[in-house]
Chains A and B, each alone.
Chain A
């Protein structure tokens, strides 16, 4: 395992009486394609928000590429890119304007930001829609635009929250290829998902989070232990389907 790109120690966060993140520890090596998986409400988004400096933790330390996120936020934010789960886009800018804006906010000269925006829009298959307002983009196009915003300053570590949620297979493939290329160049990706097939396909490292705790972490082979990741995941967090016996009428076409 190489130098860790992301180190999380004793991370905690409560909302009222509910403990969303109950003291997690995590270490992701530089150059990894890491997945953080868990059921809905497990604490994935809360953890990623704290790791990216957008939500103040109650306790714990997060170090990204040697920079302490909460002791020195400017230094840490400068080297990370973030793709949040919910669209956080300026809807009334065009795709080209949005990416240029993201670049210029990061302190890039306008001409450089413009040129990178054009290249990214091209790779993300958004060149034709570059002058359309983001408000008129589809879900897949929005995710791609968000990815463009997160990559424009060439971050060392990229955090993505459910990057392929609601994305069509063609757009998903574009995103997947771009991320694989990004990791291939030595950068690190940590993304949250609950689609096991995707994690199994692209990740070399996976952590399973449930009810605010990391219940398993390691390489894909270590975590699945000879089973599919889906089965390993269900074994760890438990199957929750019950009460199906009552639907005796379901399946008959006579309504």
Chain B
């Protein structure tokens, strides 16, 4: 069974290589990343040799890897056909050989190998002497085995849920903390390290409780063996092995159960309201009502709004507490518009086959203007308050609450530009999208990457160019009294933004009025 499942995994990997160009590229990128992680981790762990407390940092690295294995299956569930035990439920297989097979299949692939190679950096960084080396190799193998069993336990436990609509919705939200964590690492950690606020001493407190977690047991076993405490090292390895066995037993039990039970934790609930709002506002109000409900109910939409918020905050981090805080306020506000335009530049493709229902009533310029206006109003309903609150908050955090209008004026203009551009791009460069496993938001379908890229670039440069007059006005009106300057700038920026949004709706309606069947075909090809 183990051999068969490993062969299946290898076949799936080679098929992915042959499937299509994008699949081949993503496979190659994934493999390159795995190699980079292997080499990087090896080097980082090896460099710990000679540091004050290498065991503490090693324990932190081991724990980070275990955390990664815990989170990743929730995001990439379905990417690996061998992950879901339900695909094997029809075959007459006993649970134990099935478990061993699934475990072996899990250990096959670039990432598990990269983990083993990377973590073997401890043989240089932490281990000393032949006994230390031997224990280091065993500890690394046990650590990777622990990670795999942990990931399997989580996946099997959640398999039913992750197959259901609500479970997938829940998994989509996990991208938000991960994205926020990434942004923190990318923006905050280098700065704190440069300022000397992150040192090896910062980890000392963590080790007190980390050493009793399975990854900490592995790291400390190596330390004990290197110090000549063979008994303590063996005891720690034994404890780790016992944890793996216990987790494995629990996993086998849950595997047996998950093959024959249906998940009931995600049964559908009813929506509160029975009617759509904005009944008096014609087709624009109707479309706005639907689109607003979608912003609340569709996980992808919520994820996009959260990403806009995180990007706004992260972009200002490096300057907001410095004398150049204006730069942070400007970048953050412009990025709100750019991100909104990038995310909404293909509204029709993102609507998917359901656009067919709307297309049957979109006849003539008036209806189409209403359609695009409905979208813009719904987006402005969320984008304006979100960006204004964050911009005012950033100005306050910078210690200059009186400069709130910098961000606000640019927000109003950039969001107007984003709404106008997204309407126009949706009407002129619509393309089908495809929801891929592991991604909470749909991406361009195969063969349409260049259109998506063009939309993204159009959004980036369009919003930047259109916002430039407001940025320049903010800079060059420095001599005016605040009582005149602030209302003038904010009102003009709001009027400019509203004008841009309206112009976008108008032009989009003109551009799409004779192309409804073609837009409809693009939308029908979307797979959501």
Contacts and interface: CB of A to CB of B under 8 A. Distances in A.
Contacts of B289: 101
Contacts of B517: 53-56
Interface in A135-183: 135-136, 149
Interface stretch (B211-219, B270-278, B320-328): B270-278
Contact of B271 (A52, A88, A97, A105): A97
A100 B276 contact: yes
Contact of B364 (A74, A88, A130, A132): A74
A196 B396 CA distance: 72
B229 interface: no
B279 interface: yes
Interface string B156-169: 00000000010000
Interface stretch (A4-12, A20-28, A109-117, A221-229): A109-117
Interface in B348-396: 353-361, 363-364
A84 B279 contact: no
A19 B375 CA distance: 38
A120 to B, nearest CB: 14
B29 interface: no
B518 interface: yes
A86 B363 CA distance: 23
Given A73-B363, A96-B274, A97-B275, A90 B354 contact: yes
B520 interface: yes
Given A54-B517, A82-B360, A107-B361, A96 B293 contact: no
B516 interface: yes
B268 interface: yes
Interface string B277-316: 0011001001101100110011000000000000000000
A131 B270 contact: yes
B286 A88 contact: no
A73 B367 CA distance: 13
A92 B276 contact: no
B108 interface: no
Given A88-B354, A110-B279, A101 B286 contact: yes
A80 B361 CA distance: 11
A164 B520 CA distance: 24
B283 A105 contact: yes
A61 interface: no
A174 B387 CA distance: 50
Contacts of B528: 91
Contacts of A94: 270-271, 274
B293 A97 contact: yes
B521 interface: yes
Interface residues of B, number: 39
Interface string B492-510: 0000000000000000000
A88 B353 contact: yes
B276 A104 contact: yes
B293 A93 contact: yes
B521 A136 contact: no
A156 B123 CA distance: 79
Contacts of A80: 360
A133 interface: yes
A128 to B, nearest CB: 10
Contacts of B273: 97
B525 to A, nearest CB: 11
A110 B359 contact: no
Contact of A109 (B279, B290, B364): B279
Contacts of B280: 110
A106 to B, nearest CB: 5
A90 B357 contact: yes
Which of A56, A105, A107, A131 has the largest count of B CB atoms less than 10 A from its CB? A105
Nearest to B269: A132
A107 B294 CA distance: 21
A71 interface: no
Contacts of B275: 96-97, 100, 110, 114
Contacts of A86: 353, 524
Contacts of B276: 97, 100-101, 104, 110
Contact of A88 (B279, B356, B516, B521): B356
Contact of B290 (A56, A101, A149): A101
Interface of B: 165, 268-276, 279-280, 283, 286-287, 289-290, 293-294, 297-298, 353-361, 363-364, 516-518, 520-521, 524, 528
13 contacts: A54-B359, A56-B517, A77-B360, A77-B363, A84-B356, A92-B297, A97-B274, A97-B276, A101-B290, A101-B357, A114-B275, A132-B269, A135-B165
Interface of A: 52-56, 73-74, 77-78, 80, 82, 84, 86-94, 96-97, 100-102, 104-107, 109-111, 114, 130-133, 135-136, 149
